Structure 1
Amino acid sequence: MINKELVAKLQNVANNYKTVYMWGVFGSPVTEALIIAKTKQYPSWYTATKQAALRSLIGKGYFGFDCVNLIKGILWGWNGDQLKSNGGAAYNTNGVPDVSANGMLTKLIDVSSDFSKIEVGEAVWIDGHIGVYIGNGKVIECTPSWSNNVQVTACLNIGSISGLNGRRWTKHGKLPYITYVKDDVPEYIKILKSKVDSPDAWIKFIDDNKNHPTGKWLPDLIVKVSK
């Protein structure tokens, strides 16, 4: 799996599936049996209030995840199958170990606290929590905060984004279970092609003026203004 595939799968979960935060779950459909099993496994987390809230979702097409289990679930083959206990994921497969969020940090490659060159598909981490950077200053994470599900948030290390909740992360690094392929198309070109009527004219203008004292800053300015 390459980084863009991982991001696409995470976006599919966030955009097209009903999800809810459940500690220790990697994509199972929400059922009474699951709630009972997880309450026995993690009794301090699965309070009566949380159990009641989860029971209200039974039979409504919801899948449970927690932060690191969202990542592991996808890498283990989760495909949204309501008829399978783990949504199609096969536990501890594809060379991906069952580790915690902090355990996953120890597996990451090129770990850094400098977010200026973070790549799409890298894991982002704070103590006890983990997500995945999807580009354009955004992260996908499963968290009990805000909407209590798999959600798109702003990476505040890069900047806030109107309409999105966000958090500042401590470190980021590459997951060793996927291949990272860099996008050869500059970010400002993608923005122009998606937002202006005559992108080719703009791209030519910027290229023609790339050595001008002012023109050379246009690509960075376009990226900043678009956020």
Structure 2
Amino acid sequence: MDKDIKNKIRVLANKYADNLKIKVDQRVEDMQLDNKDHYLVYRVLGVTDQEGDLVDLYQNKGRFLYKYAGSFLEEAATICFIHKFGENDAKKVKIDNTLGIRPKQYEIDCLVNSKDAHEIKWRDATTDGDHITKEHNRIQVIKKAGYKPIRVMFFYPNRSQAIRIQKTLETLYHGIGGDYYYGNSAWNYVESYTGVDLKTILEEIATENLENGNND
């Protein structure tokens, strides 16, 4: 495996891990001064103050973790595209919304060769029906601009309503002439498209972190 690309992703992972720790540590410190009057309702519902502390703590940690996980995997995948095609032909771009006034522009996570418009998601567990309408509008604008909408989502949701949303989105993408990859097909797509086995790189980094005690 190309050591250069793995090193780039390792550096990126370290940056995100460090920033995540800083954010979480700061939030934990701030929470020490939080008002806990709402624990009254926790106790009414049979949750102790100690359990309430843990619930609030991990709820806050979870928000940061989901945000950083999504941003990291999007950027890691983009590094793979850039590794193959170069920064000029693989980049984030914004295009005007030609079918409405809100939003004024749509962002394409990684446009390759001014042709393939990649939407990169680590996972999408939304159950909001409006999400379908918004995504439909977005890919119509992308198609009208002359690009091919391609959705790459590495992890599929577990809940039935979220799965139904994703199946509808898959139908929309295929109906407009785009592609939709999720789970193993997403990892395989990135590898076949860029020549980089991103999943193996991440697995190796995760294993190294465990061996070095970085996941304590």
TM-score computed with the length of structure 1 as normaliser: 0.26
**Structure with the higher fraction of residues in helix conformation:** 2
Higher relative contact order (CA closer than 8 Å, sequence separation 6+): 1
**Structure with the higher fraction of residues in strand conformation:** 1
TM-score computed with the length of structure 2 as normaliser: 0.27
